[in-house]
Structure 1
Amino acid sequence: MVTTGIYCRPGCGAKPLAENVKTFELAAGAEAAGFRACLRCRPYRVAGPVAAGAPELVCRAVQLIIAGVLDSGTEAVLGARLAVSPRHLRRLFRDHLGVTPDGLARSRRAHFARRLLDDSDLTVADIAFASGFGSLRQFNRDMKLVFRASPVELRSRRRKADRLAADGGLVLRLPFSPPLHWEALSAFLAERAVPGVESVRDSVYRRTISLDGEAGVIEVTRGGDDHLLLTAHLPFWEGLIHVVERAGRVFGV
C-alpha cells in the first residue's frame, strides 16, 4: 500500500483503494522498494513461489541462493557458477524479480530468522547462525533493514500463540496453501521409504540426516489446516534454514 508503506500477502483483511496498491512479484522486491511487512497478515510467515515464469538462468540462480551460495559468498561467486557477470545477473533479477540476488538472499534469511524469533526459544545468537547469517553484526543490520527493528525488539513483540512447546527438539511450522492430503502423502512416502533412513509410523514421517558428519533426526506431521509441524533433533543449529528448506521440498510446501 503506497499510502502506508506496508506490503501484505494476498488475502489480507486490509482493504485499500485500488489506486493505492502496488504489486510485487516477491516480498523481497517490496522490501527493496522500501515497504515493510504488514503486522496483521505477517507475509514473512508464508513462503510464496519464487521466480515463477522467470528465465531459466534466474531460476537456477534462485535455487543456488536457496541452497546458501550467498550466505558466505558474493554475487561474483554466484555469477561465476552460472558463467555470467554479476552485473548481468543483477539486471536480470531486477527485471524479473524486482530485487538483486543479495537482496533476495537477505530477505530469505531474515524471514526465516523472524519465524524462529516468533516460534522458538533459541537465543538470538543461535538464530543468527541457524538462519545462515555469517555474524551477529550482519544479523542485526539485516533484520533492521528488513523489519525496521532489532532481533531483540522483534522477539519482545511475538504473540503468545506463536510459541511452540516441544518435548525435546525444536519445533517449527511448515506453512502450506490448502489443500494438502496428509494421509495420502504420508502413505506415499511410507511405500518409498529408504530402510534405515526414513520411516512413517502413526502418520509421523521420520528421517535421519547428516550435518558435517554428525547425525540428526527430523520428524514431520500434520499440524493444522495450513501448516505441518517439523521437529528437529540436531547436533547444532547452524544452517538449520537449509534443513528446513529441504524438508519443505519433500512435502511440496
Structure 2
Amino acid sequence: MGPASVLGVTTYSAVRTTGIYCRPGCGAKPLAENVSTFELPAAAEAAGYRACLRCRPYRVAGTVADEAPELVCRAVQLIIAGLLDESGEEALGARLGMSARHLRRMFHEHLGVTPDQFARSRRAHFARRLLDDSELGIAEIAFASGFGSLRQFNRAMREIFRASPRELRERRRRSDRLIADGGLVLRLPYTPPYDWDAMCTFLAERAIPGVEAVYDGVYRRTISLDGSPGMLEIGPGGDDYLLLRAHLPFWEGVIHVVDRAARLVGLDCEPVLARALLASDPELGPLVAERPGVRVPGAWGLFEVAVQAVVRDQLPALDVPDALRKLVEVYGVPVPGLAHGLTHLFPGPEALASAELVGSLAVEVANGNITLEVGEDAAELVRSLETVTSPPAAQEIALRLGARDAWPFADDAEHLRPWRSLATTYHRLTAGIG
C-alpha cells in the first residue's frame, strides 16, 4: 500500500502485474489483489510505476490537500516556488528549521516521496503537458519546466514516462493542442468542485487599477519577470481546468509562472477537511452545500497584496481604488499598448518607501524585517505585520499568502479552527464579498 492517507482527494491505483498507475475513472479493471494505492503520482513513480497512457494522470491537478501537516504544506509551497531548482533538500530543511533527514522522513510518511522526488515529478508532469498542449520546442520545454539542462530533462522523462520527449510528443492526441491567438495557452487543472464565479467576483472587487482587470469572466493582470513586463489572462476552460494565456518575454521557468497563477486562483490546495468542517456549521453549512467549490484566493504579488490590505485598512472602501490607482501611476513602471485598462507594473517596496499610507510597510519589507514569501510561518508573519498595520489587516495578508487559519474579524470563532481562511471566504460571499 502507499503512504498514510492524508490527502483524501485523488487516490491513484497502481497495478503490480502491469507496472502502470491510473487515476480514478480509468477504464482498466485489474483484480483488486493486484492493486496498490498512492496519494500522489510522484509516490507511484517512486515505487517504479509508470503513468497510464489511457487516462494520463499527469493531466489532473494532483495537489496536496489541507489534511497534510502544516510543515509539509509549507515545504510543498517552497518547492512549488522553485527552492529546489538550484539548491538541495538541506537548504529546504534549513528554511523550515529541521534537518534534511527529518524532512525526508516527514515527506515519506505523509506523501510517500522525498522532496527531490516530488519536485522532479512536478517538473516532468508539467513538461509532459507542454509536449501535449503547446508547440514549444523540446529545448524550450526543458527550461520552461525548470530543468537545468537538456540531459537532465531527457533522463527524467525517460525514467518517469519510459520514453524520450520527442517520442512523447509524437504520441499526443490531436484534441490536446490548444490553439493560441497570441501567447502561450495552458491548462490549469483542478479537482472539481471549483467555483470560478466566486473567485472571479473576489478578484474583480479587489482588482488594482492599472495592474488587474476582470471583464466577461476573464481575469487579466500585468506581471514582471526579471524586470521585463508580461501579461496573464485566466478564464474558464473545461470541467476540470481553467485556461491560462501567458504573454511573456521568455519561456524559461514558465512552470513557476503557472504555479503562481494557480496559487492566485486557489488551485494550489484542495480544502477537503476545511469544507467538511464548515459544512457542519449552522451558519455556513447551507452556503457550503450550495457552493462547495469555493477556494481561498491567493496572490500573484505578495507585496502587492500587503499594500492593498494596508490601504483598505486605512481608507473608506470607496476611496481605496483611487488611492491604489495613484500609487500605481506615480510609482509603477508603465507598460504601454495593453487593453482592458492595464497600464503599469505594480511598484516594489523600494519604490514605495516614501509613499503615503504604505511607506512604513515598504521600508520594513525592503529592509528584510518583514518577509513576504510563500512557506513562511503564519504566526511569525502576522506578528511582523502587526508592527506596521492593524491585526485584521495582518490576518488579511496572511490569508492571501496561504495561511490556512487566518481570521480578519473581531471575534475568535474558535469552533472554526484550524480552517478559518476558508470560513472567511464564505463569510464574504454571504456579505457580498466586501
TM-score > 0.5 by shorter chain? yes
Asked if 1:54 corresponds to 2:68, the answer is yes
Q: Any conservation in 2 of the 1:144–1:150 contact (CA below 8 Å)? A: yes
SS at match of 2:37: coil
1:32 maps to which of 28, 38, 46: 46
Change (3 A) 1:98 1:145: same
1:210 corresponds to which residue? 224
Give 1:18's match in structure 2, choosing from 22, 32, 37: 32
Q: How does 1:119-198 map to 2 (within 5 A)?
A: 119-198=133-212
The answer on 1:238 being equivalent to 2:248 is: no
Using the size of structure 2 for normalisation, the TM-score is 0.57
Greater relative contact order structure (CA < 8 Å, 6+ sep): 1
Aligned length: 253
Change (3 A) 1:90 1:185: closer
Gap regions ≥5 residues in structure 2: 1-14, 268-434
Q: Tell me, yes or no, if structure 1 residue 94 matches structure 2 residue 108.
A: yes
Instruction: Indicate if the aligned counterparts of 1:51 and 1:62 stay in contact, CA closer than 8 A.
Output: no
Aligned equivalent of 2:118: 104
**TM-score, normalised on structure 1?**
0.95
CA contact (8 A) 1:112 1:131 kept: yes
Q: The residue matched to 1:223 in structure 2 has which SS?
A: strand
* Separation in 2, partners of 1:68, 1:178: 26
2:86 and 2:218 mapped to 1: Cα distance?
A: 34
**In 2, Cα distance between the equivalents of 1:168 and 1:9?**
33
Unmatched runs of 5 consecutive residues or more in structure 1: none
Question: Could you tell me how far 1:51 is from its partner in structure 2?
Answer: 6.0
**Partners of 2:150 and 2:166 in 1: CA distance:** 12
CA root-mean-square deviation? 1.4
Query: Structure 1 residue 181: deviation in Å?
Result: 3.5
Structure 1: which amino acid aligns with 2:228? E
Separation of aligned partners in 1, 2:53 and 2:188: 20
Structure 1 residues 88-133: Cα deviation after superposition (integer angstroms, max 9, x where no partner) = 2112211221111110000000000000000000011111111111
1:85/1:38 CA distance change after superposition, 3 Å: same
**How far apart in 2 are the matches of 1:102 and 1:249?**
21
Q: In structure 1, what residue type is equivalent to 2:239?
A: D
- 1:20 Cα offset (Å): 1.3
Query: Distance between the aligned counterparts of 1:196 and 1:87, measured in 2?
Result: 47
Alpha-carbon distance change, 164 to 74 in structure 1, aligned in 2, over 3 angstroms:
same
Q: Judge conservation of contact 2:61–2:191 (CA < 8 Å) in 1.
A: no
Per-residue CA deviations over 1:157-177 (Å, capped at 9, x if unaligned) read 111100111111000111223
C-alpha contact 1:51 1:97 (8 A) present in aligned 2? no
Distance of 2:253 and 2:51 partners within structure 1: 25
Rg larger in structure: 2
Could you tell me which amino acid in structure 1 is paired with residue 55 of structure 2? C
Cα distance in 1 for residues equivalent to 2:76 and 2:191: 21
Return the offset for 1:53. Answer: 2.7
Q: Is 1:42 paired with 2:56?
A: yes
Mapped to 1, the partners of 2:198 and 2:72 lie a distance apart of 34
Distance 1:24 1:192 in 2: 39
Superposed CA offset, 1:192-224 (max 9, x none): 111111101122210111101110000011122
**DSSP 3-state at the match of 1:158:** coil
- CA distance in 1: counterparts of 2:56 and 2:117, whole angstroms: 19
Matched with 1:224 is 238
C-alpha offsets along residues 131-178 of structure 1, whole Å, 9 cap, x if unaligned?
111111111111111111111111111111001111110001112233
CA 1:96–1:181 in 2, change beyond 3 Å: closer, same or farther? closer
Q: 1:58-91, CA deviations, whole angstroms, 9 ceiling, x for partnerless residues?
A: 2221111111111111111112212222122112
Per the alignment, do residues 180 and 90 of structure 1 end up closer, same or farther by CA in structure 2, a change over 3 Å counting? closer
Deviation for aligned residue 1:179: 3.4
Q: Secondary structure at the match of 1:196?
A: coil
- Partner amino acid, structure 1, of 2:94: A
- Structure 2 counterpart SS, 1:116: helix
